[in-house]
A and B are shown apart, each in its own frame.
Chain A
Amino acid sequence: MKISLRSWGFILKRLGYSIVSLFGLSILIFLIARVLPGDPARLALGPQAPQSAVNSLRAALHLNDPIYIQYGYWLYGIFTGNWGMSLFTQRNVLLDVQAYLPATIELILTAAILDIVISVPLGVLAGRMANSAVDNTIRVISYLGIAIPAFVVAILLQLIFGYTLYWFPIVGRLSQGVTPPPTITGLYVVDSLLTGNFSTMLNAAWHLILPAFALALGPIAQEARIMRSSVVENLSKDYTLAEVSHGLPERSIMLKYLLKPSLIPTLTIYALDISAQIANAFLVELIFNWPGFSRYGLNAMLSKDLNAIVAVVMVAGVMFVVANILVDITVGYLDPRIRLQVRSEE
């Protein structure tokens, strides 16, 4: 199922399917959260609260109604901005999500940039020098990179560059005493740049590097391997041979004719990896005490904060689905064959 920029109908269809999936996801997670033992009202008030208070809260939360009515109330709330109260922060979950999401987006975007900037050159280098010492070194690094869990990378980076070398800060988004920039996008680096506060920008960027790299290492390894194998494959294609025999300089073959087709499989996996980063961020944010959406989600899960859990899963789902649609559009843009294929299917 691939899409092109011109097949808007196809994109719309895909979008429709995604919306249906997200509705399904909301039903699934809502059911799991409500059907399992444990009274949300009791959880919210604590074990000491009198039964009468629990009963009135049950009524206020519509917990005595059948499950589909409860779902209806919940869905209505989602679209009218009432996402339910978080037990953990004692306020509307929507406000929490708005407060914590930018920090995570900043982290994931930084990881995404590190990923593509490092993995593509590594993959091209390894593919160009296939089976050399350089290639083998990159291969070993990438095997390890895929096998090390992101939270172990996070601990190691903290240990080496934080505790031992003091090169980077260990926790948080800004050093103590540094005032956060005024909120424009919520991304500290962007906001402080927009307001011209360079020292804050550098401070924020400095805090970003370790957690972002902890997130990026696995994807870097993955993408470098895929880039390598598609470069190797394209190098053995007839069109490359034709270019070589026409005497085109190697540089232009590599950068102009080979890079684009080789990027297609890499970008597909790249985008999938980036969209899955919101999940990896759960543990990395915990370790770096990063005040983001994922750490909020994890706290919600550990304290059985049902409204927040449902919201976190749904927001993660929306981000995941949107990212996946963007992948298909990008791949369709890069590969004209896919565009043609879709048009002939219609």
Chain B
Amino acid sequence: MRLNLSLSKKYGKYWYKFRRNKLSIVGLIAIGVVLFVAVFAPWISPYPASAGLYVNFNKAGLPPSLAHLFGTDEYGRDVLSRLMFGFRYSLELVAVVLSIDVIPGVVLGLVAGYYISRWFSTVIMRVADVFIAVPPLILALSVASILKPGGINAFMAIALAWWPWYTRLVYSSTSSIRNEDFVRAAELVGASPAHIMFKEILPNNLGSILTKVTLDGGWAILIGAALSYVGLGAQAPTPDLGTMISDGAAYLPAQWWISMFPAAAIVLVILGFNLIGDGVNDMFSSGVR
């Protein structure tokens, strides 16, 4: 009972710091809604058939109305339904890229920062530098273009361009605290390197890592949308917001709803992740801003 109380107190502090900024709550709600819509898209979207191979030229290019809140596209598919399914692809992208990148990136950074004077630390950081020597979008675009175009390959291309940023972040904070007294003390009492890295040093980095993870949700979607926009992302008929924007751009300005609603949807998701990221940052920063 007492344990529970102290736990809730501990997390209560973080929650208090998070919700102090109302915008963080707005972000949390936005991503919550997007997640809900994405998961339940087959059941709550008005025209689930529009997500697949579906053509109905009688209804092509209809402006927004009560029957089609966001209008229909050039094939007569309901834009709102496709947009709801499109959230799935965006969130999958974030989940796949982050789950591939965060753990290896963080572990490599910890190892390189802790064993800073050893040869493999140099190797790790020089290899990371290679991937950082060019903007992530360019590396992702070029790798995706060489691979066969498709959703999974786009995820891989983005993941390949992204991990070193975690390594570098964790490396710089780890190397700066590796000579602090608490690390020395742990070494003196004979704690294993793994214990020191994961139990002593890692918790100190958690704030900056979690902040980066949430902010990167937005960046990953941004890069994914860019890849889709040029046709290197998800392939037809998979509903994907970036592809919807580029296909719909051909019908601008007359049929603006085909591309502008997906554009607004992307902005909503990225904004949501950014707002949560700021909240997470507040959670781990001490004092008032």
Q: Which residues of A contact B (CB under 8 A)?
A: 17-18, 20-22, 24-25, 28-29, 32-33, 36, 143-144, 146-149, 151-152, 155-156, 159, 163-164, 229, 232, 275-276, 278-280, 282-283, 286-287, 297-298, 301-302, 304, 306, 309, 312-313, 316-317, 320-321
Contact = CB atoms under 8 A, between A and B. Distances in A.
B130 A316 contact: no
A149 B134 contact: no
A186 to B, nearest CB: 21
B252 A152 contact: no
Given A147-B218, A283-B226, 12 more contacts: A20-B129, A147-B267, A147-B271, A149-B267, A152-B245, A155-B245, A163-B252, A232-B289, A279-B138, A287-B249, A297-B138, A320-B135
A13 to B, nearest CB: 13
Closest 7 CB pairs of A and B: A24-B130, A301-B145, A279-B135, A279-B137, A147-B271, A147-B270, A317-B134
Interface in B127-142: 127, 129-139, 141-142
A144 B268 CA distance: 9
Contacts of A302: 145, 230-232
B137 A164 contact: no
Contacts of B138: 278-279, 282, 297, 312-313, 316
Interface in B241-257: 245, 249, 252-253, 256
14 contacts: A21-B126, A21-B133, A24-B130, A143-B271, A146-B274, A151-B245, A155-B245, A155-B263, A283-B229, A301-B141, A306-B146, A309-B142, A313-B134, A316-B138
Contacts of B143: 32
Interface in B199-258: 218, 222, 225-226, 229-232, 245, 249, 252-253, 256
Interface residues of B, number: 42
Given A163-B252, A275-B135, A298 B141 contact: yes
Contacts of A22: 133
Contacts of B274: 143, 146-147
B133 A25 contact: yes
Given A143-B275, A149-B226, A152-B267, A282 B141 contact: yes
A18 B134 CA distance: 11
B8 to A, nearest CB: 32
A148 B135 CA distance: 18
Contacts of A312: 138, 142
B266 interface: yes
Contacts of A313: 134, 138-139, 142
Interface in B51-78: none
Contacts of B231: 302
A309 B249 contact: no
Contacts of A32: 142-143, 146
B129 A17 contact: yes
A130 B173 CA distance: 31
A55 B270 CA distance: 49
Contacts of B145: 301-302, 304, 309
A283 B246 CA distance: 11
A127 to B, nearest CB: 12
